[in-house]
Amino acid sequence: MGHALHDLSKHNAWATAHLLAFCQGLDDASLERTTAGTYGTIIQTLRHLIDSEMSYLFRVTGFWPERPWQQGEAVGLNVLTERAAVLAAAWDRFLETDVDTERLGEAFGDDGEVFAVRAGVFITQALHHANEHRAHVCSIIGSLGLNEPSVSAWEYAFQTGRSTLKPIAQAVE
C-alpha cells in the first residue's frame, strides 16, 4: 500500500518537469513574456515556483540541498530542471518516513509576524502553489498562440502508467 501523498507528490514533480521540458523549446523572448492575471514572465514564474517549493519542503523536512541556492537567483531552465529533480527526490525520501502532518513549523507574515503552522498545511501549500503557478505559465504559453502542455493529474496517470486502458470486455458497466 502506498502513502496517501505519493500520487500528489509524484504528480507535482512530474508536472513541473513536464512543463520545464516544454519550456526548453521556447526562445528567450517567449520566456520573458507574461500576460494579465499571472505572476510574472514565464522564467520568473518558474524560478518562483521552484524557490517556493524548496522553502516549503525545508519547513517540513529540514532538508536543504548540498549545493544550496539563493532564492530569487536568475538561473535558467537547465538549473531549474536540476533543482526540480532535487526537490522530487527529497519529497520521495520524506514520504518514505512516518509523516507527521500535525507537527508545528513556522511561517512569517509580511509585517514580521510569526505563525505556528501544521506540516500538513505546508505540504498543501507546496502542491497548491505549484499548481497555481504552472497554470500561470500555461496561460502565458496559450497567449503566445501555442498549445500548452497538459499537466493534469489524468495526463500524469496516463504518462506514468498509473492509469491504463482496459479492454472493452473488462470495462465497468
Taking phi first (over 0 means left), then psi (-120 to 50 degrees means alpha), and beta for anything else, what does residue 145 get? left
User: Where do we find the cell 502513502?
Assistant: 3
Domain that holds residue 64: 6-170
Strand, coil or helix: 116: strand
pLDDT of res. 173: 57
Q: What is the pLDDT of residue 71?
A: 66
Within 42-113, where are the H helices? 42-61, 77-95
For the beta carbon of residue 79, count every other beta carbon within 10 angstroms.
14
Distance separating alpha carbons of residues 137 and 44, to the nearest angstrom: 10
- Does residue 30 fall inside a structural domain? yes
Nearest-Å Rg of the Cα atoms of the chain is 18
Residue at 1 is within a domain? no
Tens digits of residue pLDDT in 35-78? 999 999 999 999 999 999 999 999 998 887 766 676 667 899 99
Give the distance, in angstroms, between the CA of residue 19 and the centroid of all CA atoms in the same chain.
10
Contact 44, 23 (CB under 8 A): no
Copy the grid coordinates of residue 150.
497538459
Asked if the structure places residue 53 within a domain, the reply is yes
Predicted confidence (pLDDT) per residue in 19-30, tens digit: 999 999 999 999
pLDDT for residue 86: 93
Q: How confident is the model at residue 1 (pLDDT cuts 50, 70, 90)?
A: very low
Entry pTM:
0.91
pLDDT band at 2 (very low <50, low <70, confident <90, very high): low
Dihedral sign, CA of 100, 8, 90, 163? positive
The domain that holds 128 is classified in CATH as 1.20.120.450
pLDDT in tens, 103-151: 999 999 999 999 999 999 999 999 999 999 999 999 999 999 999 999 9
Hey, how many other C-beta atoms are within 10 angstroms of the C-beta on 14?
Answer: 20
Check if the beta carbon of residue 46 is closer than 8 Å to that of residue 20: yes
Domain count of the fold of the chain: 1
Largest Cα–Cα separation, the chain: 61
Any domain includes 80: yes
* Cα 154 to the center of its chain, rounded Å: 16
